[in-house]
Every structure is written in C-alpha cells, then in structure tokens.
Amino acid sequence: MQVGVGSVRGRVVVAVALAAVLGGCAESADGAGKSASGASPSDRSEGATSGGTRGEGAKGAATASGGSIGAAGSSCELPVRFDIAQGWKAKPIDAEKELSKSSKSSKGSDGDLNGALADAFLRQGPVTTACEIDAKPAGHIGFLRVWTGKPGDADAGSVLRRFVAAENNVSKEKYHSVKTGGGLDGVEVEYLYTSKLLEETKKETALAVSTPDGPVVLHLGGMDSEEHDAMRPAYELAKQTLKPA
C-alpha cells in the first residue's frame, strides 16, 4: 500500500517502509536459485499439516504443497484453510494488537510516524493483515498475505474493490468471478501497481471470498513482475485448495 509522498513526513514513512522491505529481501540472496518446488521437505511451515497437492500458475509451472494453514493449531488460524507452497513460511499477525500497541506508544512526531507506518502495513481498506507467508526460504522475494475483515461484510467483490482502491496508484484492474478448489465463490483481480518512489510498475493479484466469520483476501505481490510470476504457482495452489476452516 502506498503512503503519501507529497510531504516530508510521507517521504520519511516511505523510506522507513522501503528500508524494512529491502532489509528482508537481502536475507534471501543466498537462496535465490531455489524454486518453491525445489525446497527441502524440512522447510515446511511450522504447524502445517502434510499434503500432496500441486498448484499450477499461468504458465503451467507447478509447485508442491508444504502443508495446510488456517485450521486450529496451524501456523495461522483463519476463517479459511489452504495449502502453502513447499518451503514458504507462515507467520500469524495480530493486526489489532499491533495497531493498539502503536497507538499507545505514539509520542510526538516520531510516534505519529510509527503509528502511520503501522496502519499502512496492517490495514488496507476494509481488511487487516492476519497472516504473512514468506517466500524467501523458497528463494523468492515476496509474500502471500492473508487479510481478514469483520463478519457481516459479506460482499467479496465490494471488499476486493475497496482493498485495491486503498492501495492507490493501481491501473488496468481486471476483475472476474472464480470458484476455489474447496468450493468457495470468490472474486479475483489482476492489476498493475506503480511505485512513485521507485518509478516502477509491477503485477499484483488478489482474491476475495466471503465466510460466516467475515471476508478473506489473499494478496500476492512480489519485488517486481518477474518475481510475481515466479511465485504465482504458490498463489494458484492456495486458490485451488481454499476452503472454509
């Protein structure tokens, strides 16, 4: 999501955010030659259950399952469950707790900046971050993130459009209805995001479904379009196995 860059405060927030992202990217350099399908079974996500499903991307590449998340006792407990690619690592995020902590600790301008940064990374439109699935252990630079909303906000299409609109600087959105492999009706969007700071445009993809516990959005970004395409099979695996928890 884009934090405004028209002011000094905005530029500082973006710079801090960029530094955090690039810092995480640097850790993946040693494993850049590995693919998600080539990761060792020992790289499976903690708390995930074993599975044998393979997901196929737009170009037909396949990736093996590294286990399932979403159910009680898994790495991330969610309103839905799905398989993650082998080697990817899932980490739960309590967005409301982090936002509350940031708000309480905000003092002066630095505190305001920290609060704005936390809100920018943890909240997007009607949903907040619930789980972050890191591709670095599998040799890619990017994340598959899961965002959740409050019960009653059941229109997946509306939620997804508000989610994308909140990202700002997006173009060429293509929405279409989908049905997940687990039988859930959803809406998917493919679009381009342009970073004004980096002056670069890249592909992004997101999927929204409705559940009794509220809407769920799966979002795949990536450092650039090449990384996005390389990680797309992991996203397809999640979509093919997505079902109610």
Looking at every residue in the chain, the average pLDDT score rounds to: 77
Closest CA to 245 of 125, 117, 99, 71: 71
Closest CA to 241 of 199, 181, 183: 181
pLDDT (average), residues 78-88:
97
Local confidence band at 9 (pLDDT 50, 70, 90 cut-offs): very low
- Tens of pLDDT, residues 174-186: 999 999 999 999 9
Closest CA to 71 of 17, 23, 131: 131
Identify which of 9-13, 14-18, 27-31, 171-175 has the greatest average pLDDT. Answer: 171-175
Show the tokens assigned to 147: 């965002």
Gap between the Cα atoms of 79 and 151, Å rounded: 10
Report the greatest alpha carbon distance in the chain.
52
Where does residue 139 fall: left (phi above 0), alpha (psi -120 to 50 degrees), or beta otherwise?
Answer: left
Q: Is the pLDDT of residue 76 over 90?
A: yes
Closest CA to 69 of 152, 145, 169: 145
- Set out the domains of the chain in order of their start, with CATH numbers: 34-93+126-244 (3.40.1000.10)
pLDDT (average), residues 157-180:
96
Q: Residue type at 199?
A: E
- Tens of pLDDT, residues 189-230: 999 999 888 889 999 999 999 999 999 999 999 999 999 999
Show the tokens assigned to 3: 């934090």
Q: Is the pLDDT of residue 46 over 90?
A: no
Q: Residues 45, 67: contact at Cβ < 8 Å?
A: yes
Cβ–Cβ contacts within 10 Å for residue 33, how many? 7
Q: Is the pLDDT of residue 127 over 70?
A: yes
**Residue spans of beta strands (DSSP E) within 108-238:** 123-124, 127-134, 143-148, 170-179, 185-195, 200-209, 216-220
SS3 state of residue 27: coil
Gap between the Cα atoms of 119 and 228, Å rounded: 24
Q: Is the pLDDT of residue 237 over 90?
A: yes
